[in-house]
Amino acid sequence: MGEATVPTEQRPRQDRGALALAWFGILGAPAAWAAQLLLSDAFAEVGCEAGGFSSISLVLVVITLAALAVAVAAGVVAFVRLRQTRARDDDPARLERMRFMALCGCLSSALFVILIVLGGIVPHLVLSTCTPP
């Protein structure tokens, strides 16, 4: 009969940690992007009106690099888990789910790394002034 077992009382400590890592792998990069977007937009709107494009530009690049670090970290965690799950011969349903979450983590982190760089760094390479002055 199916592999549904008696209710699991306490999820084993190690399993809970792995789950937290899996969710960080998926949601870490989006959270970093969301923080970068809000902070950068706030600084850009306030900073630009107070004038001084160069000072704002520096602040924004710092914010972007911090967000980038978190996003890349999430990507690495997801990638490590993806390679790790290949080796483990756990019960097939759990293995399929863990590999699915790890794959989603890698793809999600990759897309948000591109988005953080595109939104955070590329504009400073092209734009030179703050309008309206």
Partner 1 sequence: MATATEERLEEIWGEEPGPVSWFTTGDHKRIGRRYIVTALVFFLLGGIEAAFMRWQLAQPGSTHLTPEQYDELFSMHGTTMIFLFITPLFTGLANYLVPLMIGTRDMAFPRLNAFSYWIFLGAGIFLYAGFVVGAAPNGGWFAYPPLTGPIFDPGINMDIWSLGLIFLSISTTAGAINLIVTILKLRAPGMSLARMPLYVWAMFVTAWMMVLAMPPLTYANVLLQLDRNLGTNFFDPTAGGDPLLWQHLFWLFGHPDVYIIFLPAVGIVSTVIPTFSRRPIVGYPYVALATVLTGIIAFGVWVHHMFATGLPSLGLTFFAAASMIITIPSGVQVFAWLATIVRGRRPAFTTPFLFAIGFIVVFVIGGVTGVMFASVPFDQGVTDSYFVVAHFHYVLFGGAVFPMFAGLHYWFPKITGRTYSETLGRWSFWLIFAGFNVTFFPMHIMGLLGMPRRVYTYSPDLGVEGLNLLSSVGAAVLTIGIALVAINAIKSLIAGSKATANPWGAATLEWATTSPPAHYGFASIPIVHGRDPLWEQPDLGSDLTLTHGREILGTTITDADPEEPLPMPEGSVLPLVTALGFAAVFVSLLVGSVPAALVSTLLTLGLIGAWTWTLGGVPG
Partner 2 sequence: MSTKARVVQGSAVLAGVLALTDAACSGPGATSDASGPGAHRISLLSVGMFTIAAFVFLVVICFLAYGLFRRRPGSDDERPDLEDRGGTRMVLLGGVAFPIVVLITLFVITLIALEAQAREDTGSHVLTINVVAHRWWWEFQYPDQGIDTANEAHIPTGEPVLMQVTSTDVIHSFWVPRLQRKVDAIPGRTNDVTLQADADGTYLGVCSEFCGLQHAHMHLEVVAQAPDAFDGWVGQQQQVPPEPTGEALQGQQVFLGSSCVYCHSITGTNANGTVGPNLTHVAGRTTLAAGTIPNTPEELAQWIEDPQSVKPGTQMPASDLTPTQIRQLVAYLESLT
Partner 3 sequence: MSVARVEPRGARSTGWWGMALFIVAELTLFGTAVASYLFLRFRAPTWPPPGVEDPDLVLGGIATVLLVGSSIPILWAERGIERGDVRRMRIGIAISIVLALAFLSIQGYEYASASFSWRTDAYGSLFFTILSLHGLHVIGAILIVSWLEARSFAGHFDGDHHVAVQTGALYWHFVDIVWLAIFSVLYLSPRI
Q: Which residues bind partner 2 (CB under 8 A)?
A: 114, 118, 122-123, 126-133
Residue 39: partners with Cβ closer than 8 Å, 6 or more residues away? 63
Binding test (CB under 8 A) with partner 1, winner from 12, 53, 67, 79: 53
Site for partner 3 in 32-71 (CB under 8 A): 42, 45-46
- Token pair of 77 as six digits: 């965690």
What residue 128 binds from partner 2, partner 3, partner 1, none (CB within 5 to 8 A, per partner kind)? partner 2
Residue with tokens 């794959």: 103
- Token pair of 101 as six digits: 């979450």
| 62/114 with CB nearer partner 2 | 114
Buried b (16+ CB within 10 A) or exposed e, 63-100: bbebbbebbbbbbebbbebbeebeeeeeeeeeeeebbe
Q: Which residues bind partner 1 (CB under 8 A)?
A: 1-5, 7-8, 11, 19, 26, 30, 33-34, 37, 40-41, 44-45, 48-49, 53, 56, 60, 93-94, 96-97, 99-101, 103-104, 107-108, 111, 114-115, 118-120, 122-123, 127, 130-132
